[in-house]
């Protein structure tokens, strides 16, 4: 076990946005509908895939990536975890689920 200092980050709500362009149409989202944190403004392009919460948890019988190809694609995911307000969730009820250590 090791003590790790936690640093709180609060993004500038007015400056946080996401714009998606497809076929000449641009959709623009502001926080809280879009959340991201990058050091500077960035622009990326490529195929987009949605991967739920982006969680693979074989021990819980859950895999958001099952059946989707994410290689060389931009992956869009929800933050947090599924069923986070359900105390009977297969995850850690209403608490955060701890990740097992990597071998």
d(CA 3, CA 25): 48
Q: What is the pTM of this model?
A: 0.61
Higher pLDDT, 27 or 15: 27
Is residue 37 a contact partner of residue 11, using CB atoms and an 8 Å limit? yes
pLDDT in tens, 46-79: 888 999 999 998 888 899 999 999 999 989 888 7
Q: Judging by beta carbons within 10 Å of its beta carbon (0-12, 13-18, 19+), is residue 86 exposed, middle or buried?
A: exposed
Q: Judging by beta carbons within 10 Å of its beta carbon (0-12, 13-18, 19+), is residue 42 exposed, middle or buried?
A: exposed
């Amino acid at each position: 076990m090791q003590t790790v200092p936690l640093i709180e980050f609060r993004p500038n709500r007015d400056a946080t946005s996401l714009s998606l362009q497809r076929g000449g149409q641009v959709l623009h989202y502001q926080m809280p509908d879009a959340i991201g944190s990058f050091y500077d403004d960035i622009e990326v392009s490529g195929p987009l895939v949605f991967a739920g919460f982006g969680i693979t948890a074989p021990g819980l019988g859950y895999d958001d990536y099952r059946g989707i190809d994410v290689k060389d694609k931009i992956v869009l995911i929800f933050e947090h975890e599924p069923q986070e307000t359900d105390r009977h969730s297969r995850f850690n009820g209403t608490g955060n689920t701890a990740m097992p250590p990597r071998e």
